[in-house]
A = this chain, B = another copy of it.
Amino acid sequence: MAVNLVIPERNTIYAVPGVEIGITAAGIRKKDRPDLTVFKLAPGTTVAGVFTTNRFRAAPVIVCEEHLGARTSIGALVINTGNANAGTAEQGMVRARRMCAATAQALGIDAQAVLPFSTGVILEPLPIDRIEAGIPKAVSGLSAENWYEAAHSIMTTDTLPKIYSSRIQIQGKTITITGISKGAGMIRPNMATMLGYLATDARIAQPLLQSLTREIANQSFNRITVDGDMSTNDSFIVMATGQSELTIQAETDPGYDELKAALAHAAKDLACKIVRDAEGATKFMTITVDDAGSHEEALKVAYAIAHSPLVKTAFFASDPNLGRILAAIGYAGIADLDVSKTRLWLGDVLVASAGGRDPNYQEEDGQRVMREPEILVRVSLGRGAVSETVYTCDFSHEYVSINADYRS
- Chain A interface (Cβ within 8 Å of chain B)? 53-57, 84, 86-92, 121-125, 185-186, 188, 227-232, 307-310, 313-314, 316-317, 319, 321-324, 326-332, 334-335, 337, 339-340, 352, 354-357, 395-397, 399-401, 403-408
Contacts and interface: CB of A to CB of B under 8 A. Distances in A.
A-side interface mostly: loop
Contacts of A323: 84, 86-87, 121-124, 232
Contact of A90 (B89, B326, B337, B356): B356
Contacts of A407: 319, 321
Number of copies: 2
A403 B314 contact: yes
A406 B356 contact: no
Contact of A228 (B89, B309, B403): B309
A229 B400 contact: no
A232 B355 contact: no
Nearest to A57: B330
A92 B277 CA distance: 41
Contact of A55 (B123, B188, B229, B339): B339
B327 A232 contact: yes
B186 A87 contact: no
Contacts of A56: 326-327, 329-330, 339, 355
A401 B397 contact: yes
A309 B87 contact: no
B86 A327 contact: yes
Contact of A357 (B87, B395, B396): B87
A401 B89 CA distance: 40
Contact of A330 (B54, B308, B340, B408): B54
A355 B89 contact: yes
Given A54-B330, A231-B327, A395-B400, 7 more contacts: A55-B329, A55-B334, A55-B335, A55-B337, A89-B356, A123-B352, A123-B357
Contacts of A309: 227-229, 309, 395, 399, 403
B395 A307 contact: no
Nearest to A328: B229
Given A89-B354, A397-B400, A53 B310 contact: no
Contacts of A308: 227-229
Q: Which residue of A55, A122, A326, A355 has the most chain B CB atoms within 10 A of its CB atom?
A: A55
A320 to B, nearest CB: 9
B186 A91 contact: no
B90 A310 contact: no
Nearest to A86: B323
7 contacts: A54-B330, A55-B329, A56-B330, A87-B352, A124-B357, A186-B324, A230-B327
A256 to B, nearest CB: 33
A395 B312 CA distance: 14
Contact of A310 (B185, B314, B334, B357): B185
A404 B313 contact: yes
A88 B403 contact: no
Contacts of A334: 55
B317 A228 contact: no
A317 B121 contact: no
A408 B317 contact: yes
A15 B156 CA distance: 58
Nearest to A396: B400
Contacts of A331: 53-55, 188, 229-230
Nearest to A324: B122
A54 B327 contact: yes
